[in-house]
Amino acid sequence: MCDCSMPLNLAIFGIDRAEEVIQTFSEIDIWAIGGHSLGGAMAAEFAGQNANEISGLALWAAYPAESNDLSQFGLSVLSISASLDGLTTPEKIDSSRALLPPSTHLSKFWAATMLDLEPMDRSQAMAGHNQSG
């Protein structure tokens, strides 16, 4: 078994931990990787560097770095973002679209809580904000 936790809980310090997971669970044939925010950018980086091992990529409020063009890879990609996200803005997601394969599925949601559909931004979501009314 591997210690697959991220150093300081930041994927940027442990991008190769995914390789340890793949090696540890070698009986698995098809792999996908994903992450949120900077973790998504690191997942995209790993997918680009290991295209022979990674079949899918899930990005939550994330996009690949400009230096990480995945558009020619045969990855299945899902990108989920929120319209009121103040950090990973819809404009940033849209401007990175060319770096992803043409078959990428983009899902943009109007940011809301699950219970009452009140609008919320990223900081509220990260803090577990829930307005009841």
The DSSP secondary structure of 36-54, one letter per residue, reads ETHHHHHHHHHHHHTTTTE
Which position has the higher pLDDT, 103 or 7?
103
Which position has the higher pLDDT, 12 or 109?
109
Query: What tens digit of pLDDT does each residue of 59-105 get?
Result: 999 999 999 999 999 999 999 888 888 888 888 989 999 999 999 98
Q: Which of the listed CATH numbers 1.20.120.1200, 3.40.50.720, 2.60.40.10, 3.40.50.1820 matches domain 31-126?
A: 3.40.50.1820
**How far apart, in whole angstroms, are the C-alpha atoms of residue 65 and residue 51?**
16
Share of the chain above pLDDT 70, in %: 72
Residue 29 has pLDDT above 90, yes or no: yes
| pLDDT grade for 112, boundaries at 50, 70 and 90 | very low
Q: How do the domains of the chain map onto residue ranges?
A: 31-126
Average pLDDT over all residues of the chain:
80
**How far apart, in whole angstroms, are the C-alpha atoms of residue 63 and residue 99?**
9
Torsion sign over Cα 96, 100, 106, 112: negative
Assessment of whether the complete model's pTM goes beyond 0.85: no
* Helix 17-24 vs helix 38-49: crossing angle, to nearest 10: 60
